[in-house]
Chains A and B, each alone.
Chain A
Amino acid sequence: MIDSWSSATSGGRGPVDADVKRLLHEHLTGLDPFLAEVARTFDHLVNPSTRHPDTVVLRIDATWFTELLEVHDVAARDRAALALAMLAMHTQAQDQRIDRDLADPSLAWATDVLSSTLLVEAIAMLCGIAGGDPLFWAQTRAAFTESARGCLAERTLGTGSDELVGERLVSVVAGRMATLRILVTSLACHSRRHERTQPVQRAIDHLLVAQKLRDDISDWRDDHARGMPTVVLLRLAQRVGRPLHECSPDDVADALYLFGGLEALVDEIDDHLRRAAELIEPYPHRRMGGYVKELRRECAALAERVRAHKAGNAAT
């Protein structure tokens, strides 16, 4: 039974990751042993290289949703965790293929086939959890449309005149990962808590935006080198006062670390986390609420560390 994940900032991988991997392997082997072998070659997608112990681990956890939507059936909870793992692996495989980040380019075709299989399996599993509720398919179609819209918008970030703030930011960043909403829909159909679908999905949207911003703060040098106009880089270019493509790495670093960029981004992240917390407040939320609280604390500590450095009394 899948019951708990490691804490958000522990830096380690909890025992559940191994459980999900075991379930994934068993499931794929049941379909076709060859598929399980292929999946094994993509272990790095779900099992990245060892992290520094201080690394802040950003995650989405199936147990948040089973708690929020009060799904008590153990088998449904396990299947939800497995479906989420497959959706995540599908998304990561696609991202690596699209960004041409595969260690071996000849894996592109295999990646495509595997990620498609994982998607089909995840949707089939979630459909089973939903128990034939017609809302499931309507919302699944809507989620794919939203995801396509988000992907397209993401590719044109920084080229339009629209400011990427508020609802537009949420719709682009969270829309890109809208397939996660299918999991929420499925569990809400299962427990017949349809009225919770929208607030829980909105909470996840805000959490996704917060996590994306936090992740982009760490990755800004790589993203800048690759010419990737992330939201964080666009915010910093605005602070520098030049279009992003005219900003050097030094300009971006100054804006981020010296001239208030990081503090402003932390405020923005905290605003999204606060909204996520408010949205789940009426429902059982110990798991997701605890994670959000931990992330808020981490972000506050991040800004405080920068302020301490600037004040010249940073702890060594």
Chain B
Amino acid sequence: MDIVSDSALAEATGAATSASDAPAGLTDHLRTDLDADALRRLRDDIEKSLPRADWTW
């Protein structure tokens, strides 16, 4: 699956350093270029696969 790399993302965002100077709609823009369903499935798979962390004492 063709996933946008971190460097490409940084370029797309103009290496934004704060919310105020970053372009709006970043995620929506990327979604139009990629297969939204496949991306969502991948995202959900990743989330489900990660172990949770919990504090104890």
Contacts and interface: CB of A to CB of B under 8 A. Distances in A.
Contact of A89 (B6, B42, B57): B57
B47 A257 contact: yes
B57 A240 contact: no
Interface in A52-80: 52, 54-60
A238 B42 contact: no
A46 interface: yes
B52 A218 contact: yes
Contacts of B32: none
Interface stretch (A28-36, A119-127, A187-195, A243-251): A243-251
A50 to B, nearest CB: 11
Given A59-B57, A254-B27, A241 B22 contact: yes
B3 A258 contact: yes
Contacts of A302: 50-51
Given A264-B6, A309-B46, 20 more contacts: A46-B57, A54-B51, A55-B51, A56-B54, A84-B57, A211-B55, A217-B53, A238-B19, A239-B9, A241-B22, A242-B19, A243-B20, A244-B19, A255-B27, A258-B3, A258-B39, A260-B6, A305-B50, A306-B46, A309-B45
A293 interface: no
A67 B26 CA distance: 49
A60 B57 CA distance: 6
Given A240-B26, A254-B43, A52 B19 contact: no
Interface in B24-57: 24-27, 30, 39, 42-43, 45-47, 49-57
Interface of A: 13, 17, 46, 48, 51-52, 54-60, 84-85, 88-89, 92, 163, 211, 214-215, 217-218, 237-244, 250-251, 253-255, 257-260, 263-264, 298, 302, 305-306, 309-310, 312, 314
A264 B6 CA distance: 10
A52 B52 contact: yes
Interface residues of B, number: 33
Contacts of B25: 241
Contact of A312 (B1, B30, B52): B1
A254 B40 CA distance: 8
Contact of A51 (B19, B45, B54, B57): B54
A218 B39 contact: no
Interface of B: 1, 3-4, 6, 9, 13, 16-20, 22-27, 30, 39, 42-43, 45-47, 49-57
B54 A259 contact: no
A92 B54 CA distance: 13
A259 B9 contact: yes
A151 to B, nearest CB: 17
A309 B49 contact: yes
Nearest to B55: A58
Contacts of A211: 53, 55
A246 to B, nearest CB: 8
Contacts of B52: 51-52, 54-56, 218
B37 to A, nearest CB: 13
Given A254-B43, A309-B42, A240 B6 contact: no
Nearest to A316: B49
Contacts of B9: 239, 259-260
A240 B45 contact: no
A258 B19 contact: no
